[in-house]
Every structure is written in C-alpha cells, then in structure tokens.
Chains A and B, each alone.
Chain A
C-alpha cells in the first residue's frame, strides 16, 4: 500500500513541477510586453524600465521562475496587474463561487448517473434500459453551454423561477446564492452524468459476465443480491477512473459555463486574465487548477486501493 501510494505521490509531484515549467515557459513566449500593456503606448521609457524592475522582469528567466515557485509555496501568488490586488485574494474571492459549483455538479452527476447505470444494467434489454441509455446517448451529445441556454430560456425567461445569471455573493444568504448556482451546476452535470451512466452500465454488464458472478449464483444467491454484493464493487473500479477524469472536464467546463451565467468564478477570472494579458493571474490560477486535478487523481488512486485489494499487495 505505502509503495503504491508513494509512487503515485511522486508522480503527482513530478507532474506539478513539469506543469509549472510548461506554464511558465508558455507564458514567457507570449508576445507583448506586460509593462507596456499596463502603462499604455505613450509611457516614457524610464517609467517602463522602473515598472519592469519592480515586476522583476529584468531578472534572468531561471531566477524569475524560482521566485515565482518560491512565492507560490509561501502563499504569495504575486499581484494582479489589472486588478491591482494580490492574486491569492482574487483566487479566494472567485474560488468560493467555483468550488461550490464544481462540487455541486459532481454531486449531481454522480447522484443521477450511478443509480441510472446500475438500474439499466440490471434490466438489460428491457425498455427501461433502452430508454435510459437512449437518453444518455443524447445527453452525451449536448454541449453544456447550449443546455445552459435552454435552461435559462425555460427557468429564467419563461417560468421566471431562477435568475438568468450573475451571483449575489454568499453574503446575500445561502439560498439566493445557491439559486444562482442551480442552473450552472445542472448544465455542467448533465453531459457528465450521461457519460458516467453509460460507463457504469457497461462496467456492470462486464462484471456480471465474470465467472465469479456464476460462482455466487451457484451459492443460491438471487440475481439482485449478487448484483449488489459482488458486481457493484468490482464495477466501481472503471467508474472511479472516469470520475477522476471528469473532474478535470468539470474545471474546464466552468470557464464556459461561468461565461454563460456571468458568474464571478475562477473560470471567468482566468478567461478574462488571458484576454487582458494579466499573466501572473493566469499562471496562478492554472497552477491551482492543475494542482487540484493532481490531488483529485491521488484521491482516486487511494479509492482504487480501497476498492481493489490487488493494489494493496505487499504492504
């Protein structure tokens, strides 16, 4: 167990280091001088020079890289040039919108998909199976931002029960804030749920064809009992893999969905920062997102080991 996890941890660390180099390098080659962008075209050369040295742009690339990394490790993500506030403050301010959004949609998609997948697998070949899988097939094909538009039309324009967009802030109370997150999280969750339901069903069906299911049936256990006691846990292994991958999709999905609903979250922050060349913000947010993907994958690995004793060999 420890060797397995230690290896995973090491891989996660290496991933983070390489990712940081890639992010730094990519943004390094971005055309355009940030100082020039900040001060505008008619800035004096002296002012530009002063700003550059204040931002550390006159230092060598390795030095700047290590300064940046070291700063992040100490919790100093730098200062945004457009918002003129610390990047960390921005991240926290926006994160309290994005994180609940991601968690809510992950919860929604799992809560819908896994029962549907199990249900369809247990009634393989019935109308209920075909209907739920047909729906999933369509769900996979729907772009989440279009689904979001349909939701807005239905609930905001037509029924007028939910706000079309914007976020009142958590200060306005839990319910108004949650209300603003319902449609965005539904829009994010639906396509993911469709994929997850299909994966759950096919994983279940594959497991139900295994020899040990026949062994369990030969013990006299009913089909349903075998499904719950023997098939489910084995089927969860591929489902976990997809859940881990989906987390990355969810994070990326927030970029578009937050734009649809004008939510002040991390996705919108990074999108705006890119278009405004506010590179220090981009670097910080991207690293944070990559780190959360790495952490989620690590959690998935731990869950693997919990589900599958074959990964726990040689403690």
Chain B
C-alpha cells in the first residue's frame, strides 16, 4: 500500500511517498488480525519554499505544479497511491485560500485521502515523524518533540509510546524576515512580546544581530516555559496558537527531540551566515540550544528534522480497521464523512442510543443534503447476540431518514463486533440500504473520516480519522 504525504508549511512545501506493509498477524487457525507492520519512506522530494501570492494567499497553481513535478520524478501515478494526507500547516493554514488549495490538490493527486490539519494534528504528526513516540516507548519515559518551523512550534508529548499531550506556540524562524540587511517583516504578536520586554523593533530598520538575538531568546524562553522548565518568566503571556491551551500542569518531561526547519541549528548551532535563509531561523536555533532546556532534560536525536511533519503525514495518518467487518465494496472509498459520536452515557440502553442519534442527526443532516454520516460508538456494552440485535434495531429506528435517502448507513465501533452488528443490520433492513459497519476505530464528534478501498485480502479498510479541532 503506497501512501503519500504532502506538507504545505509556512516556509516549506514537501512531499514523500511511503510504503505501508500490511500483514495478517494472527496464526492460520485464528480470526485474522491485519495490521500495518512496516512503514518505509521510498521517495522524498526536494524541499521547496512555499509559493505565496501575497502574505494572505497561497499560490495554488504553483503548489500544484510542484506536486505534479514530484509525482513525475518519483515515477508515481495517482492511481498507485491508496492513501495519505495533504496537510497545510503552521501560519499557512490560516491563509484565506487554504481550503481551495486542498480541494485542488485532492483532484490532482487522484483518489487518495485528503486531510487538513489543525495545529493539534500537526503536532502529533511531527512528533511521530521525528520518532519521539518510539523513543519514549523504548526508553519507557516521557519525550517531548519540538517541531520548530517557520511560523509555529508544535509540541507533542509522548509517554511510553502513546500520545500524552499537545500544544502549539507562535514561535518560529520566519516570524522575522530579513532582506539585504534590513528587517522586512515582523509578526505582530512577536512585536508585542518584544515591546513588553523593552525591545522596540520596526519593519525597515537594519537587522542587528544583538537585537534579533534578544528577540530569539525571548522566543526560546517561551518554549522553555511551555515545557514547564523555567521559573515563571511571564506566566500570562505565552504565544499559544489561536489562544490554545498549554501542556498539563503536572507534566515532567524526561527528554526532548527537535524537528522542523530550525531543529538543525538546535542540534548543530555552528553557522557563520546567520541570515542565509532571509529570516531568524539560525539565531532561533542557537538561542534554543543555549536557553537551558538541554541542561535540564536529555536530548535525543530525532529520526527526521525538517521532514518530520511530512513523514508523519505520509506514514502515520492511516490506520486499518478491525479485521472482521461488514461492508459493501461498491460503496468505497468514501471521503470526508462527518462523525456523529455517542457519549458513553448514551450507549447504556438501546433506547438511549436511538434518542442520541435522533437528537444529533439535525446537526449533520438537512432535508436537501444527501451526504452520509458515520455513527461512532464504543459498543463495549453490546457483546452478546441478543444485545447486538437490540443495538441494530436501535440504530435502524433512528436512521430512517438516511434509509429513505438511499445513502449508505455507516457505523464505526471500537469493540470487535463490527461484522456481527453489520450482519444484524443488513438482515433487518433486508438489503434495502447499503451497510458499512467497521470496528477497531476511535473517533470523536466533529471529526471526519475517510474510508479507503479494502486491502489485506479484503479483511480491512484503510481509515483516516481527521481531527479538525483547533487547540481546545
């Protein structure tokens, strides 16, 4: 299975192709257990500066040209690619035409799966791409990855291999741009931070190393404080992206890894040409190296630095469903299906399940719309044959409007009863409505899900759950 990752960031645009190997891990006489067993990057593109039309718009045409060329160079055609993600990250995601660009790319790149990212998802992907999850699992400790890019610093914290917390700061190498020895751009919130600390800075003035270094030191301290490694510099003024939340208070980090464009200069701060990229990235890297984080916790080498997010997007967005599931092949793939999630309390009885679905349905369905929705629940209370029949009735009764429209009925469970429930629903509906009932997938209300065509001998579906929630 070939997966593509495309990352359009504040400063750079990149693409990778990776090969995901899936295999049935169960013995021959057991129920299949198909899993992704290997992820290997088979092609990495050059790193391009993200083409912008203006400071508020991405140059969609130029971006798609880059992607087109890279597909050609890699010898890939869209139909070879089964899954993957396009991600618009950092400051760029706030550009007016971000969605337009995404749509454009999804058409260009064929039938693969497309995801937009909020800073939370971006943090997770870069952390996984950098290998922080693996390091924390191997060392049985808590590892924070700092993905320091042009516009944002995405922090993800992994505890013994699993995600523990994420946050995102407006700290990055291109928040100040320098051209011909002059400052040509400064991000407003950073300017404000500088002013609070008695540093006045204007666009147009000459780029003094000492002054810019002070500003970078302020940014470095922001990171240090976000990691709770400093004694309260200016508690109430951390530049969290979109006024998001910080990391949990009781966090004790054992080690850090660095990724993103600036990471190279954190690991190896020697560089003579300080403004070689026309920004303060080098200075920021050096200041982070010196700010004291490295004295307090261990520092591991990351698997990827500048490519961490794109590798994460290309290899870590796709999951596979449980291996005993129910689907109608002709209805797949399906993209951007909104999730209707049942709360735990709503699962207690079949009646409550019905009520909860009916209550939430109007949010996702209007009279004239024909888009499918996916009903997501744990299903953990329904493990006997009789209880599954009741659950099937409850779901059928609550989804009459879907059945009338002739669109597929999609149910996603966490517990492993997808095929049994699918059978039950299918029989009760006498095949009149197409049913897709998968398990082993966890999703939250407000998420969207992409379901790919069956792989692994038809046992599983590739699934991408897209979380669009910005720091909440």
Partners in one complex: no
A residues whose Cβ falls under 8 Å from a Cβ of B: none
